[in-house]
Amino acid sequence: MNSVLGTCEHPYLQLSLKHSPFFRRTRLSLPPTFNNNRRRTQVKMASITTTTVEMGANNELLKKGIAELYDESSGIWEDIWGDHMHHGFYDPDGNANISDHRSAQIRMIEEALNVANVANSEDSSKIPKNIVDVGCGIGGSSRYLARKFGASCQGITLSPIQAQRAQALANAQGLGDKVLFQVADALQQPFPNGHFDLVWSMESGEHMPDKRKFVSELVRVAAPGATIIIVTWCHRDLSPSEESLQPEEKELLRKICDSYYLPDWCSTADYVELLKSFSLQDIKSADWSKYVAPFWPAVIRSALTWKGITSLLRAVPQRPPEWWTCLCKVVRNGCLGWKTIKGALAMPMMIEGYKKDLIKFAIITCRRPE
């Protein structure tokens, strides 16, 4: 397998405690060697080839940062773009607009089901009846799948605010008896073995610091014959002659990671190799980058509307004096309460990554043997 630590492969990212709290909490999968009164504490890098999470307390900080990011930003996202917190699936030859964004997100779900051949059979026994949504956001996919298949669905997220909002929306839509949400770690799911006949992960894998553990949990909760669908951000596949990404590629991904609480990226090929190692069947993958390319420009355009700007500013706990100077300072330093704005400012880097064919939007599907 090619190198799977494609984001930034410096042995350690060296940061002093004089740096901001934000950066001390972000690049956690490549943990820093902290300089605290000249005492250094080294933490091993995690690899997706490990079978256990090796970063201990640092992983707890990573989870805390992810939860805080989505606690802050989910309401803004829902207000502007609706309850599906993922990319849309667009016509690559067309121009995406805000009005098409929500329908494109539904197309994303339907296209994923089509690739995985879920419920394309006339055999009613193949229709999923028990679904898990891993990294559920505010439950858009869970509710859609529950309605589509008449299934029960359980969603998990690290964000308490997301879980509460997801359940409130399910209850309001008459789905409270079919769809349940809770705060839980995707690497330690609170479900018994073999419990679900559809295991769904829509854009959550990029947050997982241990990709092998992530996949192993998806497999563990899947029932015999269950379908597993992973839609996630990846970096490009490495060529046979490459040991790692290029330095400038690593640097761009590092900056994106700092904004979105992402650990190490891996490639689609790495995911496929992982699924093979678990003896899964019908493994398929596809690069959907061209179908999602219009997403980030559309999001930026909507963020630059008056509604988008005022929503972003509402993410700030209070309006500071001399607000513009202070805004620049806190965004730069990553102060608590400004994660959403920092994430918004990173959107052009996502566009750059797609244009350079560095970032890939991948779907990987498979089936657990009967």
**C-alpha triplet 265, 266, 270: angle, nearest 5°:** 165
**In this predicted structure, what is the pLDDT of residue 253?**
96
The token duo for 186 is 């995707």
Query: How many CA atoms lie less than 13 Å away from 92 in the CB half-sphere?
Result: 7
**In this predicted structure, what is the pLDDT of residue 78?**
82
CA-to-CA separations, 177 to 101, 144, 152, 330, in angstroms, rounded:
29, 14, 8, 43
Q: Measure the CA–CA gap between 78 and 137, rounded to whole angstroms.
A: 10
**In this predicted structure, what is the pLDDT of residue 288?**
97
Q: Cβ–Cβ contacts within 10 Å for residue 336, how many? A: 12
Residues ≥6 apart with Cβ < 8 Å to 37: none
Per-residue pLDDT of the chain in tens (370 residues, 90 and over written 9)? 443 433 333 222 222 222 333 223 333 333 333 233 323 323 333 333 333 334 455 788 889 889 988 888 888 778 777 888 898 999 887 666 656 788 899 999 999 999 999 976 666 778 999 999 999 999 999 999 999 999 999 999 999 999 999 999 999 999 999 999 999 999 999 999 999 999 999 999 999 999 999 999 999 999 999 999 999 999 999 999 999 999 999 999 999 998 888 998 999 999 999 999 999 999 999 999 999 988 877 777 665 554 544 444 454 444 444 444 444 444 444 443 567 777 777 888 999 999 999 999 999 999 999 9
Residue type for position 353: G
**In this predicted structure, what is the pLDDT of residue 276?**
98
**C-alpha triplet 272, 273, 274: angle, nearest 5°:** 90
CA 51 to chain CA centroid, nearest Å:
21
For residue 185, the SS3 value is coil
**In this predicted structure, what is the pLDDT of residue 98?**
59
Q: Which CATH class is domain 55-304+345-368?
A: alpha beta
Q: Measure the CA–CA gap between 150 and 223, rounded to whole angstroms.
A: 18
CA 302 to chain CA centroid, nearest Å:
21
Contact 46, 65 (CB under 8 A): no
Q: What is the dihedral of CA 102, 107, 108, 114, to 10 degrees?
A: 160
**In this predicted structure, what is the pLDDT of residue 197?**
97
Give the residue carrying structure tokens 């599906």.
Answer: 84
For residue 124, the SS3 value is helix
Tell me which DSSP letter residue 290 carries.
H
Q: Measure the CA–CA gap between 9 and 263, rounded to whole angstroms.
A: 12
The token duo for 107 is 């197309």
Global confidence as pTM:
0.77
Closest CA to 344 of 369, 317, 316: 316
Region at 119 (left for phi over 0; alpha for psi -120 to 50; beta for the rest): left
